[in-house]
Chain A
């Protein structure tokens, strides 16, 4: 867990601390986004420049009519925006993994299904609202309001599912060797996948859902159009991407405030650091572990709705890849480390979008966007082999 808010104890209730705890994560987010987009863009442009006049470049000119460097540059703004959007979704899921890992040193394998439950609850509510004609011809503000309602319900459902899973399947195994709760968690993950499928297919016979279109979320806002080195770049962003980013940023800031500036957060951090001592200080360990699952699950559920908004179609197995990527993000940033999960999520989201956009052209069609799902694993292995503590260092309790 993160311990940078040292003075939170002293200045509890102090408005300066509150302000700082609200602004600091915003600063972190902005610097994470800027740094990762800058580094990746420059890297990509450098590769494109190095490959100019090569066979790759000629193939690109033949197929698309522009040279490789211009192609890279022209696509860059869109790739960065998309990468940032999906990166924030990953970051929100990764926080759930990293919080639980920080407290229990255990990979909550079922977190991806908690995410899926959130997505389904949110989408079902929106489908019900849409069926009752609440969503036709409403203003942008009302649409956001309904979306917030769906997200809230998803957070509640996902959070309490996570707590129930903890009590039933993890708590009895807390003192067992490391692999035992992990296997139990895999069991929970599989069980929940089919449970969602069962519940969803009972009513309509279909187990996938498509989020109803409402508001102006699909509209594309054109922000700017500029020319750089004779290449015309259109910077535009979909409304739903803005919604996803804003919602994710709000949750990240809120979580940071909760963990670093409240009494409850202090208790959670103390449990993460040393359960025995925390319990001697009068902290109810089980309650705070459940609370960790509640918060992590709620974030996962909200991320599920955002994911559904971005990708429109969900099915019971939707959580698998986002879950694995979010875990990779958590490890990439340093497990147990909240800003680390944020950084890892954004970096991973960007990398994946870069791979999806450029891999096909840069390999002359040999390997396309279909490999982006396994890119996360390649990164995971590289991180674990060369820097197992992640980019920002891992922060877990003193258990072993």
Chain B
């Protein structure tokens, strides 16, 4: 067994600081000051990663401080709708980062239903994302008219099959289609044990990817490995853009282009999706269905004995998780105007799983934090390191002590390509030292408070789903 987590000693100090911070109007002052500081820093240095992190962490601070709920929501709206567009258009990569965080947060929340609530490990989650993406990619591009062509780029002058604004319809369609795909996957695998289920879902993810790769014959449905492009984006209303230009141009410092407005648009849509998903997931978690999922996770046999309809609930978990991924897939296809099978590899599934594990299984704020941390590590920190290394390579510097010139360093040594190592390390370390995640689920917290003597054992024993029952079962007869 591992030693109890070292967090113990720090919690007392942390609690002391938090008590100070949470007294009277202090939290309001502190969060406003911090947010102001972050905004000013990013506004002054649009290229600085640290300033951006400072700005982003203000959201975390606002979440963790003890404030009036309305004040928290108000501040959140100010950050996302007022500050972020201005900051994001000044440096468009920030909007991209937030967009990706939102997409991964929504995916993570969907996977969280399957893995965190119902305890079914799904390693092929990205398949549903692919289903949504290819759905819009097929109907929102010229592919319908190229069914009998050899895969390749669309010849000029091919009309689009559907008008661009059917995008919104297809978001709803993707929810339904992906949910059906989830049920389709769920039906044959319902009886399987946890680890077999994981491998079979992995297989399902690979099947979808291979199909996307090879369904360019006999009918050219997916255009093969080249992927489908261009895919339409919904139209933006002209008068509204002109009005926004009037407000944004002076703040941003340059005339805002249409491409930048599209970035802003997809950022806002992704945000709306995430908020919707959060609301749905919270309501589900607190509902009868959510309790049934928890019961299944804790002990399937006992749940059935208590009258939980196992088949319906498990299928429901698969369908609900898949539907979010389907909707996000449509958004992804529209925002990239391009999909290819490469975007839906096994690594993407593991990336989403990493987000859920890092944040905390079954924990909604945890998953969002996990999405933010993983995406920033991936997009900002690793890429920053890559840039730094390539600069070093172009300079005359040598590595001290061993006298090795940076220039001779292999081009393959590019940190941005080592996402697998990052995901792998996060998974191993979290499983060994903090299996409940950065922000453990509320239900778990309540359990821990009820039985303080269990706390050390549960944390060190590597207990994801608080399944003390399963733990008991695995010790059965001992």
State the A residues within 8 Å of B (CB).
106-107, 168-169, 172-173, 175-184, 186-195, 197-198, 201-207, 276, 320, 324, 327, 331, 365-368, 370-371, 373-374, 376-378, 380-381, 384-385, 388, 398-400
Q: Kindly state the separation between the CA atoms of A188 and B464 in the bound complex, as whole angstroms.
A: 18
User: Which residues of chain B are near A191, meaning CB under 8 Å?
Assistant: 420-421, 424-425, 428
Select A169's contact among B1, B410, B432, beta carbons within 8 Å.
B432
Question: Contact at A202–B427, with CB atoms within 8 Å?
Answer: no
When A173-B431, A177-B470 are in contact, do A377 and B204 touch as well, CB less than 8 Å?
yes
- B418 sits at the interface (CB 8 A): yes
Question: Contact at B195–A178, with CB atoms within 8 Å?
Answer: yes
User: Which residues of chain B are near A371, meaning CB under 8 Å?
Assistant: 210, 214
Question: Contact at B206–A374, with CB atoms within 8 Å?
Answer: yes
Q: Kindly state the separation between the CA atoms of A40 and B269 in the bound complex, as whole angstroms.
A: 54
Q: 5 extra interchain contacts, Cβ-Cβ under 8 A, other than A204-B410, A370-B210?
A: A169-B428, A172-B2, A177-B462, A373-B210, A381-B203
Select A179's contact among B195, B210, B424, B473, beta carbons within 8 Å.
B195
* Chain B residue, CB-CB nearest to A399: B474
Give min CB distance, A385 to chain B, whole Å. Answer: 5
- B465 sits at the interface (CB 8 A): yes
- B353 sits at the interface (CB 8 A): yes
User: Which residues of chain A are near B2, meaning CB under 8 Å?
Assistant: 172
Give min CB distance, B164 to chain A, whole Å. Answer: 33
User: Which residues of chain B are near A197, meaning CB under 8 Å?
Assistant: 412, 418
When A106-B195, A180-B464 are in contact, do A193 and B420 touch as well, CB less than 8 Å?
yes
User: Which residues of chain A are near B431, meaning CB under 8 Å?
Assistant: 169, 173, 176, 180-181, 183-184, 187
Q: Can you list 16 pairs linking A and B with CB atoms under 8 Å apart?
A: A169-B432, A172-B2, A178-B195, A179-B198, A180-B462, A181-B462, A182-B198, A186-B353, A187-B425, A187-B426, A189-B424, A191-B420, A191-B428, A202-B413, A205-B412, A371-B210
User: Which residues of chain A are near B435, meaning CB under 8 Å?
Assistant: 176, 180
- Give the residues from 189 to 206 in chain B that come closer than 8 angstroms, CB to CB, to chain A: 189, 191-196, 198-200, 202-204, 206
Q: Kindly state the separation between the CA atoms of A373 and B210 in the bound complex, as whole angstroms.
A: 8
Q: Kindly state the separation between the CA atoms of A365 and B214 in the bound complex, as whole angstroms.
A: 12
* Chain A residue, CB-CB nearest to B462: A176
Of the candidates A184, A187, A203, A207, the one having the most CB atoms from chain B within 10 angstroms of its own CB is A187
Select B195's contact among A173, A182, A203, beta carbons within 8 Å.
A182
Q: Kindly state the separation between the CA atoms of A366 and B216 in the bound complex, as whole angstroms.
A: 9
Q: Kindly state the separation between the CA atoms of A29 and B410 in the bound complex, as whole angstroms.
A: 47
Q: Kindly state the separation between the CA atoms of A180 and B119 in the bound complex, as whole angstroms.
A: 11
Question: Contact at A190–B470, with CB atoms within 8 Å?
Answer: no
User: Which residues of chain B are near A198, meaning CB under 8 Å?
Assistant: 413, 418, 421
- B312 sits at the interface (CB 8 A): no
Q: Kindly state the separation between the CA atoms of A204 and B473 in the bound complex, as whole angstroms.
A: 51
User: Which residues of chain A are near B478, meaning CB under 8 Å?
Assistant: 276
User: Which residues of chain B are near A205, meaning CB under 8 Å?
Assistant: 410-412
Question: Contact at A178–B350, with CB atoms within 8 Å?
Answer: no
Chain A-chain B contacts (Cβ-Cβ < 8 Å), number: 179
- Give the residues from 455 to 478 in chain B that come closer than 8 angstroms, CB to CB, to chain A: 461-465, 467, 470-471, 473-478
Question: Contact at B412–A377, with CB atoms within 8 Å?
Answer: no
Question: Contact at B210–A374, with CB atoms within 8 Å?
Answer: yes
* Chain A residue, CB-CB nearest to B467: A177
3 tightest A-B CB contacts, nearest first: A187-B427, A191-B424, A377-B203
User: Which residues of chain B are near A194, meaning CB under 8 Å?
Assistant: 418-421, 424
- B368 sits at the interface (CB 8 A): no
User: Which residues of chain A are near B474, meaning CB under 8 Å?
Assistant: 175, 177-178, 399-400
* Chain B residue, CB-CB nearest to A386: B188
Question: Contact at B210–A176, with CB atoms within 8 Å?
Answer: no
When A198-B418, A370-B214 are in contact, do A177 and B428 touch as well, CB less than 8 Å?
no
When A324-B202, A377-B203 are in contact, do A179 and B464 touch as well, CB less than 8 Å?
yes
Give min CB distance, B401 to chain A, whole Å. Answer: 17
Q: Kindly state the separation between the CA atoms of A187 and B420 in the bound complex, as whole angstroms.
A: 9
Of the candidates B200, B418, B462, the one having the most CB atoms from chain A within 10 angstroms of its own CB is B462
User: Which residues of chain A are near B475, meaning CB under 8 Å?
Assistant: 175
Give min CB distance, A329 to chain B, whole Å. Answer: 12
Q: Beta-carbon contacts of B402-427 to A below 8 Å, as 1s and 0s?
A: 00000000111100001111011111
Give min CB distance, A313 to chain B, whole Å. Answer: 17
User: Which residues of chain A are near B1, meaning CB under 8 Å?
Assistant: 172, 175
Select A380's contact among B199, B463, B476, beta carbons within 8 Å.
B199
Question: Contact at A183–B427, with CB atoms within 8 Å?
Answer: yes
- B438 sits at the interface (CB 8 A): no
User: Which residues of chain B are near A366, meaning CB under 8 Å?
Assistant: 217-218
